[in-house]
Amino acid sequence: MKDLKYLYYFEKLLDEANNELVRRAKEEGRICIGSVCSLVPEVLLSLPGAFTVRLRAPRTGSIDMGTYYMTSFLCEYSRALLERAIEGGYQFLDGLVAPDACSMINRAVENMELLKTMPAEKFFYRYMEIPMKADDNGLSVYVSESRAKILTPLREVYGIDTSDEAVRKAVKVHNEICDLITRIGEFRKEENPRITGYEYHMITLASYVCPKDLLKDMLEETLEELEKREPDSGKRFRARVVVVGSEIDDVDMIRLIEESGALVVADRFCFGALPGREVILLNDSEDALTQVCRHYMYASECARYMNREKIDGRREYVDRLAKEYHADGIIYEQMKFCDYWAYERMVGSHVLREEYGYPVLSIERPYAIGSSGQIRTRVQAFVESIEIKKLGKKGGI
Amino acid sequence: MGKKIGSERLGDLYQPGKKVRKRREWRGVKDTLYDYSRWLHTMGILGKFMLNKNNVKAFFRYRWMLNFLAVPMMVDRHTAGLRGNHLRIAHTEYDLVVEDVAKLMANMFRADKNTGNDREFSKKLVILDENEMSHLLCGFPNLIGVGREIPAVYVSVLLQQDAVCHYIDVAQEYGLSGDVCPMPEAEAGVSIDDDYPIFGACALQCNTTCDGSLMGNGVIARRLEKEHGIPCFQLAAPIRHTEDGVQEYAAQEIRNAIKFIEDCTGEKWDWDAYFECAKRFNAETRERMEWLQMSTTEYPQVIGANLALYTETVYMAIGGKVPAFLKADKKITKLAMDSFRKKEMIVPEYRHRAIIWGVQAQYYTDFLPWLQNCWGILPLVDMLSMVSTRMISEDDPKQAIYDMAHLYENMIMRNRTHGGYKVLLNDLWGFCQQFHADMVILWEHMSCKALDGMHGLFEEQAREHGIRLIWAVHDLMDPRVVPRASLRQDVNRYMRSVLREEPLDPSLEEIDDADSW
């Protein structure tokens, strides 16, 4: 297939945290609030006059300082973020809102604070309580925390308008981008998709780390381009897979899976679109803040939610995705040292294999995967096993 | 060898390659006889326990039951070197803890489908997490809260260092990563291995200490609900527990949990029963505060591992429900005050006053007696004992809900591992000042992300505060990863090479307890 016009540009944007669009928005006088997790409602950080960036540490090399402060037993993502912060890589931020959701990320941000890594004069840190169950009580704390830890500092420190009207405006912009990304993602359902998992990952990832409104024109153009795009004839892949698991912001991860013979048709991981890039529907009878929080709470598939409905719902959701996107198998992945996904991967891979009947590959991986031979071999073997199963079915074996 | 403290070369009692020691410690006629009487008392509890057919059945059904043969040895390990009142304080604590665990197990096996199968009795039991407060049961006087994980995992490792290695392996063979905390990992392993007793009207789970523990509950709840039809409630205690903004959320969780228990058991919450327990709980807290106050002076009396293990039992598992514990508390205070007045010491020389911070190696809780006996490092208080000392309401139902919420937020360990860096980092230096400590022994439980995440700042700030900091690296429940000898080596190296000190009891510096219980 012909390369997408903006693919190279999106890749360039992902090369650094302080990318071209971030710099442009800052030059326009907007304030930038960092976040480190999907559980912080990103739309509330993107009120008019502000924008948000989900922190990554692209092109991570040594994480020695991060390891000194947090030992080698914390996940590499948290160590890489701290390392980058100590190096001064996030000094474009005006504030950082972290959820106290996972101990490791929480500690990474606390280290950033205690080590005084952010020089901005009015810089603020906020640590949010995030509900652990999706219910009315959880919603009440989500709303009060969002108000106290996001809206109040935005208003009091930077004079940002945090009215209901402003929240609705932010949701509108957010929805426009999410709608575009969702429509682009729909092409992955095709028998011979006109977009690869890697391309889609680049587009989605860019939407988490750039001011969204500045991406809009490019996304619209990309959608138009895709509508006309002809997929290569003949099969370019040997198996369709859903990737499920913890944080993936490494551009090499999906590429490696696809180089190994699979096509990633659904991205059910942090920094993915499922969920994360669905539109937020608002009504006029209730305040926007409550509706936004409700949306994030019920849509989230984070392994941290501990009520049984959510736990069972996570596996049902993967099954639904696999059916909708016609997947042949599921790859459960987990970044090493991640407690939440260590358990979720273990149980989820058994449930999806034994109760739902999918071929499942279960892998642990580093933050920056590079060209890991081990993961490549495992994916290749998985693809082969799916092919053998298919052949077996055809031959009635 | 005699009644004087420090008169016995304790290291000579160890036998390389053996589970037990050469002989009992000689503490002079009076103390040895007293100590022996408590040994007989423990053996009596074990003997009585084995007279019950449910318990005998359980002994052959559950792999972890074998560990309980080591109960007398566990008490011996934690009373090493003690004399006089200090020996009596320790035995007062352990007598009750042993009795309480035996009672808990007897209840469990009476109700358990695999052993006693008393269905009516089973309806009166509510399953609790291992590391969970039990105050919600205070208002249900007809119900009994039972933590299945306490005997299967928590106590088992106290008794025998490699007790749960099998279950850790089971969980990993099932696909769990090897880098998660071994405690919830072992608890999940017992569930996967189908080695928990099955009973109860319902289960009350809680996000106790860490992310791993929250997730391990999901594995256990799946089996409880789907296979055994036992409904589970997940009580969400807020993480940012020091902030006012989360208290209403926490209180509502308590209300929801009470309703859940009422719905599952048909019992009604009883405020009179609750307040009776609250009064006792407050009285117990006052006793504990007396002990802590003594530890700020030159003559600490109730300290170290024994204080930690006893506090865990009284604060979390008992929560004012059992009058015998308050009686024991008062006895301990009386003994301690007597020693305090006489300026009695626990070891012959106090060279360093230490705060023990972090999460203890469960397979080596007697590391603290070793510190005091070998090097004269007095383990004044540990992190697990530094729990809430707030008085709870004894008559106001509205306030009581918030009190319970506060206690569930401030469960042992959780009150430090959650809630932001201030409760873990800043409070430590405050305690060093309060207790006049010159040293911190920092348990570095390698899979505890909340603690590891502050590693560098602990080091830097210890230097700033002029505190000697010794890391004691371990893997909580898996001595295969870090053996006991390695923990001692961490201290030996520091004491010799940095402080250039000689041990108080040189026989303890190098001991071979690799195969010991």
Least confident of A236-240, A288-292, B274-278: A236-240
Of B218, B454, B456, the CB nearest to A343: B218
**What would the two tokens of residue B450 be?**
């909340």
Q: In DSSP terms, which residues pair with B354 in a beta bridge?
A: B379, B439
Reported as a pLDDT band with limits 50, 70 and 90, residue A135 is very high
The mean pLDDT value of chain A amounts to 96
Express each pLDDT in B106-139 by its tens digit. Answer: 999 999 999 999 999 999 999 999 889 999 999 9
Please indicate whether, in this complex, the C-beta atoms of A129 and B234 are within 8 angstroms of each other: no
Concatenate the DSSP letters of all residues of A14-26 into one string. TT-SS-HHHHHHH
Distance CA B417, CA B395 (A): 31
pLDDT confidence of residue B21? 87
Gap from A346 CA to chain B (nearest CA, Å): 5
Express each pLDDT in A159-189 by its tens digit. Answer: 999 999 999 999 999 999 999 999 999 999 9
**What would the two tokens of residue B373 be?**
């006996």
pLDDT value at B2 more than 90: no
Angstrom CA distances, B93 to A375, B304, B491, stand at 53, 12, 28
Please indicate whether, in this complex, the C-beta atoms of A100 and B452 are within 8 angstroms of each other: no
Identify the H or E element spanning B214. Answer: helix B211-226
pLDDT value at B1 more than 90: no
Express each pLDDT in A331-367 by its tens digit. Answer: 999 999 999 999 999 999 999 999 999 999 999 999 9
Distance CA A189, CA A325 (A): 5
CB interface of A with B, residues 42-71, below 8 Å: 68-71
Which residues of chain A have a CB within 8 Å of the CB of B219?
Answer: 343, 346-347
SS3 B344: coil
pLDDT value at B376 more than 90: yes
The predicted complex's ipTM stands at 0.95
Cβ–Cβ under 8 Å, residues B425 and B458: yes
pLDDT value at A371 more than 80: no
Summary count for chain B: helices (H), strands (E): 22, 8
Angle between helices A288-299 and A136-146 (to 10 degrees): 120
Domain boundaries, chain B: 10-508
Q: Does residue B247 sit at the A interface (CB-CB below 8 Å)?
A: no
pLDDT confidence of residue A396? 62
Q: Which residue of A has its CA nearest to B182?
A: A339
Which residues of chain B have a CB within 8 Å of the CB of A138?
Answer: 236, 249
Angstrom CA distances, B72 to A60, B67, B91, stand at 53, 11, 11
pLDDT value at B268 more than 60: yes
Q: Please work out, in degrees rounded to the nearest 5, the angle formed at the alpha carbon of residue A188 by the alpha carbons of A42 and A379.
A: 95
Express each pLDDT in B295-335 by its tens digit. Answer: 999 999 999 999 999 998 999 999 999 999 999 999 999 99
Q: Please work out, in degrees rounded to the nearest 5, the angle formed at the alpha carbon of residue B477 by the alpha carbons of B473 and B482.
A: 35
Distance CA B134, CA B491 (A): 36
Q: Does residue B219 sit at the A interface (CB-CB below 8 Å)?
A: yes
Torsion, CA A146, CA A152, CA A158, CA A162, rounded to 10: 70
Q: Which residue of A has its CA nearest to B454?
A: A70
Q: Where are the alpha helices (DSSP H) in B296-445?
A: 304-311, 323-341, 367-370, 397-409, 414-417, 421, 427-434
Q: Is A191 exposed, middle or buried (CB count within 10 Å of its CB: 0-12, 13-18, 19+)?
A: exposed
Distance CA B382, CA B295 (A): 12
Q: Does residue B236 sit at the A interface (CB-CB below 8 Å)?
A: yes
pTM of structure: 0.96
> Which residue, A142, A112, A143, is CA-closest to A36?
A112
Distance CA A48, CA A46 (A): 6
**What would the two tokens of residue B314 be?**
């009284």
Angle between helices B323-341 and B84-111 (to 10 degrees): 170
Mean pLDDT of A73-79: 96
pLDDT value at B20 more than 90: no
Concatenate the DSSP letters of all residues of A134-182 into one string. -SHHHHHHHHHHHIIIIIHHHHHHH----SHHHHHHHHHHHHHHHHHHH
Express each pLDDT in A291-313 by its tens digit. Answer: 999 999 999 999 999 999 999 99
Torsion, CA B367, CA B369, CA B373, CA B377, rounded to 10: 80
Q: Does residue A362 sit at the B interface (CB-CB below 8 Å)?
A: yes
Q: B205, B239, B409, B442: best mutation site toward chain A, by most A Cβ within 10 Å?
A: B239
pLDDT confidence of residue A397? 56
Q: Which residue of A has its CA nearest to B444?
A: A71
The mean pLDDT value of chain B amounts to 96
Q: Does residue A345 sit at the B interface (CB-CB below 8 Å)?
A: yes
Q: A141, A142, A364: best mutation site toward chain B, by most B Cβ within 10 Å?
A: A141
**Backbone conformation region of residue A261, classed left if phi is above 0, alpha if psi is from -120 to 50, else beta:** left
pLDDT confidence of residue A392? 84
Gap from B367 CA to chain A (nearest CA, Å): 23
Residues 6+ positions from B400 with CB-CB distance below 8 Å: B271, B274, B275, B278, B392, B393
